Amino acid sequence: MKIDGARAMVVGGASGMARATAEMLVREGARVAILDRVEAAKGEEVAAAIGGGTRFYRCDVTDFAAAEAAIKRAADDLGALHFGVNTAGGGIAKRTLTKGGPHPLDEFRAVIDLNLVASFNVARLQAERMARNSADESGERGVILMTASIAAFEGQIGQVAYSAAKAGIAGMTLTMARDLGSLGIRVVTIAPSLFHTGLTQGIPKAMEEGLVKDAAFPKRMGRPEEYAHMARAIFENPMMNGSVVRLDGGQRFAPK
C-alpha cells in the first residue's frame, strides 16, 4: 500500500519504535496522528518535532472507553485511516511462585490488559475505520501493525505474564488477518528482541553486551529506526499478511 498521501495512526507514538515509525511515515508523505499517555505538553512537543502536520492525542490504552474515544477523535480528524501501528505495552518481573506466594492475579491481569486486550481494542477500532475506505488499485484498504516480542516464544524466568500477553498477540495475528481479508485489510505483527527504547535507553555498554551475547549478528540492541524500516516494508508489500516477523538479530532468549 502506498504511504504517500495515506493517513496513519501510531499508538505509543511519543517515543521509541512508534515515534521512529511516525517519523518515517511523515518523511514518506503520510499524515500522522500519534496517541500516547504522556502529558499533553510533551505530546504536543513530540508532534511538532515530527512535523508534517502531525497531531497528538492523549490516550491511555488501558482505559478502554477513553482509548476508543481518542481513536475515534484522531480518525475523524485524519479523515481516513490506512495504517495503524500499536507498540504500547510493558511487563513486570515476577515468577509464577515465589517464597512470598503465588503470582498475584491482579498483576497478571494488568499485564494482559496492557499488552493483549489493549492491542485487540486498538486493532478492532482501527479496522472499523479502514473498512470505510475505498479499495486501492490492488484491493487494499489498510494495514494493521501490532507489536509482540520474542518473549512470546522463549520467555525468560519471571516473564510469565508478559510472555502470555505477547504470545496472545502473535496468536491472533493470522486469525485477525483472515477475519479482515475480505475487506482488503492486512494484519502483521513485529516481534522485536531488546531495543533501545523505554527502560533500556542509556544502559551501560557492558550491560548491553551481556544482554545480547546470544544474538547471532549484530550483537547489540535494536534501534527504533530498524523497527520503522521493517514497518515500511510491511506497509508497502501486499504479500506481508498474517505473519509474525521476528526482528531480533538471531537472538533467542536464554532462561535468564
Checking if the pLDDT of 163 tops 90, the result is yes
Question: What's the pLDDT score for residue 191?
Answer: 98
Question: What's the pLDDT score for residue 29?
Answer: 98
What does the block give as the cell for 203? 544502559
Q: CA torsion, points 51, 53, 56, 57, in degrees to nearest 10?
A: -160
Domains and CATH numbers, the chain: 7-247 (3.40.50.720)
**Nearest residue to 5 (alpha-carbon basis) of 23, 35, 21, 28:** 28
- Cα separation, 163 vs 171, in Å, equals 12
Task: Render pLDDT for 63-91 as a digit per residue (tens, 0 to 9).
Answer: 999 999 999 999 999 999 999 999 999 99
Confidence band for 199, pLDDT divided at 50, 70 and 90:
low
For 22-52, b/e burial (b = at least 16 CB within 10 A) is: bbbbbebebbbbbbbbbeeeebbebbeebee
At residue 159, φ and ψ (nearest 5 deg) are: -105, 25
Question: What's the pLDDT score for residue 65?
Answer: 97
Mean pLDDT, range 13-29, rounded to an integer? 97
- Cα separation, 101 vs 97, in Å, equals 6
From residue 161, give the alpha-carbon distance in Å to each of 37, 66, 158, 192.
Answer: 22, 24, 8, 17
Checking if the pLDDT of 200 tops 80, the result is no
Mean pLDDT, range 107-119, rounded to an integer? 98
What does the block give as the cell for 123? 486493532
User: For the chain, what percent of residues have pLDDT higher than 70?
Assistant: 99
Catalytic site includes residue 227: no
- Cα separation, 18 vs 11, in Å, equals 7
Checking if the pLDDT of 104 tops 70, the result is yes
Task: Render pLDDT for 166-181 as a digit per residue (tens, 0 to 9).
Answer: 999 999 999 999 999 9
Q: At residue 40, what is the residue type? A: A
pTM: 0.96
162, 195, 227, 253: the catalytic one is 162
Mean pLDDT, range 195-203, rounded to an integer? 78
Checking if the pLDDT of 229 tops 90, the result is yes
The mean pLDDT value of the chain amounts to 96
Confidence band for 207, pLDDT divided at 50, 70 and 90:
confident
Contacts for 189 with CB less than 8 Å, ≥ 6 apart:
145, 146, 147, 148, 169, 170, 173, 243, 244, 245
Checking if the pLDDT of 202 tops 80, the result is no
Residue with cell 499485564: 111
